[in-house]
Structure 1
Amino acid sequence: MRQTIVRSVNDLPTYGFGSQSGPWWGAMAFIALEGMGFAVAIAAYLYLYAVNPKWPISSAPPDLWPGTLETAIFLLSVIPNELTNRVAHRLDLRGVRIGLIVMSVIGVGLLVVRGFSFAHLNTRWDLDAYGSVVWFVLGLHTTHLATDVVDTIVLTILMFTRHATARRFSDVTDNAFYWNFVVIAWLPLYLLLDWIPRL
């Protein structure tokens, strides 16, 4: 006689945090791919820097204040981001709502400052190799910043609707994890864009 063993999985959780979550692995894959993209962009910048006797080639270095202001905001944003991550692990809906609103405001503020960064690069994208690579590198990070800000705003809206289920708290922690990547990715780019032209 053949016996089939069946086990009910009704009591298993439908979500998890960190590596227990499918979207977390997706975020890790994105980070790996995007990290390689940043590495290639940095390598292209450094190659052009090495083969050109004058850098910048035919313009002044970027003004320091926009990039420095961005860096300060990015570093300070780690605090509310981590607090949001912690309250999400506790399934604290009120705390998550507050944290996501704060992070959305910070993200939009950074996009505004990023606009000033582009305006103060002191070069056009089509002027020479320096202008092209600077605009490309800054544009690449801006894409990551903008997509994470949109994701944060969407999560904020969801947490004020009936979709604020336990599974969404896991999404909030994944979003916080990705924000840390956006911050960490910016730090070498800040040195690359704002300080290497001054060497």
Structure 2
Amino acid sequence: MKTTTDHAHSTAHYFVPEPSLYPVILSAGMFLLALGFIQMLNDFGAGSWVMLAGTAVILTVLFAWFGKVIGESQSGAYRDWEDRSFRHGMIWFISTEVMFFAAFFGALFYVRVLSVPTLGGMEAAHGFSLWPEFAGTWPTSGPGGAPFTPMGAWGIPALNTALLLSSGATITWAHWGLLRDNRRQLILGLAATVLLGVVFLGFQAWEYHHAYTELGLTMGAGAYGATFFMLTGFHGFHVTLGTIMLAVILLRSISGHFTAKRHFAFEGVAWYWHFVDVVWLILFVFVYWV
């Protein structure tokens, strides 16, 4: 039974990092990234450069900040209390990501089920119509919008679904290897997951090129184009972050940083990757298929 003295002793060892400017600098980089993106959408010449500057700031801070955290972990600064805090923090972080994507799926639902049919049926319901030639069917580029061809589900999207499902299996296999102290299985599983993530991103880039050059499907293609690129684009951004994190975990695994009992960094990234997989399955159904 743990005594009060033992409890106080363990509490005293909770690691508290020194004050840092990393959060402030990271916030500035995110602001520049968002500002540049908005400027680029409005054809402001310097928008792409502002985005590039924001991306550079974010990457620099992430590598420096997480490098410091890795050093603290390897020095033995983190114990059971810190491990529980990290797990709670990761759970809350993924919860915010769930709400983030729920907002975009909610927008898609509102447009498809409520807004577009209502606008298309105004003449029948109220005897007048703001846009008499608007049919109100999905997919649509809106009244007077440019024609486009919607993205089909079978082909690259279906292949990308298979890739992400496979990556969920390979990272789980890597986790089993870590729990059994099988370093070879851990490294091979992580390497396969990183490769699958990179291939997924490559196919998505090709899909975007095909959409813009051959289908007429752009961000300006009305409600369909906006929701398609916002959902798939933000998901692709999360896959990019996840792939980078997996690559870092792979390098750390090769360096022997994890043990069967101490490997929260691996688990945190694995949780994130499984979350990305689930979001893609929902996205595939409601954006590409239905």
TM-score (norm 1): 0.82
Q: Specify the code of the residue in structure 2 equivalent to 1:81.
A: I
Query: Which runs of structure 2 are paired with 1:17-166 in the superposition (5 Å)?
Result: 21-50=84-113, 51-52=115-116, 53-57=136-140, 58-64=147-153, 65-121=155-211, 122=215, 123-161=217-255, 164-166=257-259
Query: Which runs of structure 2 are paired with 1:5-16 in the superposition (5 Å)?
Result: 5=5, 14-15=78-79
Say if 2:168 and 2:274, in contact at 8 Å, map to a contact too.
yes
The offset of 1:141, in angstroms, is: 0.6
The offset of 1:187, in angstroms, is: 0.7
Residue deviations 1:38-82 (CA, integer Å, cap 9, x gap): 111011112111322122214222033111111111122222111
Say if 2:173 and 2:189, in contact at 8 Å, map to a contact too.
yes
Find the aligned partners of 2:166 and 2:285 in 1 and give their Cα distance: 18
Aligned counterpart, 2:34: none
Q: Residues 183, 36 of structure 1: CA spacing in aligned structure 2 closer, same or farther, 3 A cutoff?
A: same
Say if 1:88 and 1:172, in contact at 8 Å, map to a contact too.
no
Find the aligned partners of 1:174 and 1:109 in 2 and give their Cα distance: 22
Find the aligned partners of 1:193 and 1:41 in 2 and give their Cα distance: 11
The offset of 1:15, in angstroms, is: 4.9
Residue deviations 1:73-110 (CA, integer Å, cap 9, x gap): 11222221111111222343332222211111111111
Q: Residues 186, 5 of structure 1: CA spacing in aligned structure 2 closer, same or farther, 3 A cutoff?
A: closer
The offset of 1:168, in angstroms, is: 6.4
Find the aligned partners of 1:156 and 1:177 in 2 and give their Cα distance: 15
SS of corresponding position for 1:159: helix
Q: Specify the code of the residue in structure 1 equivalent to 2:174.
A: T
1:180 aligns with 2:274: yes
**Greater relative contact order (Cα < 8 A, sep 6+):** 1
SS of corresponding position for 1:62: coil
Which shifted more, 36-45 or 89-98? 89-98
Q: Specify the code of the residue in structure 2 equivalent to 1:131.
A: G
Structure 1 regions of 5+ residues with no counterpart?
none
Find the aligned partners of 1:168 and 1:128 in 2 and give their Cα distance: 49
Which shifted more, 46-55 or 112-121? 112-121
Say if 2:235 and 2:280, in contact at 8 Å, map to a contact too.
yes
Residue deviations 1:142-193 (CA, integer Å, cap 9, x gap): 111111000001111122236x243863311222222111111111100121
Q: Percent identity?
A: 23
TM-score (norm 2): 0.58
Q: Residues 59, 102 of structure 1: CA spacing in aligned structure 2 closer, same or farther, 3 A cutoff?
A: same
The offset of 1:115, in angstroms, is: 1.2
Say if 1:67 and 1:190, in contact at 8 Å, map to a contact too.
yes
Q: Specify the code of the residue in structure 2 equivalent to 1:178.
A: Y
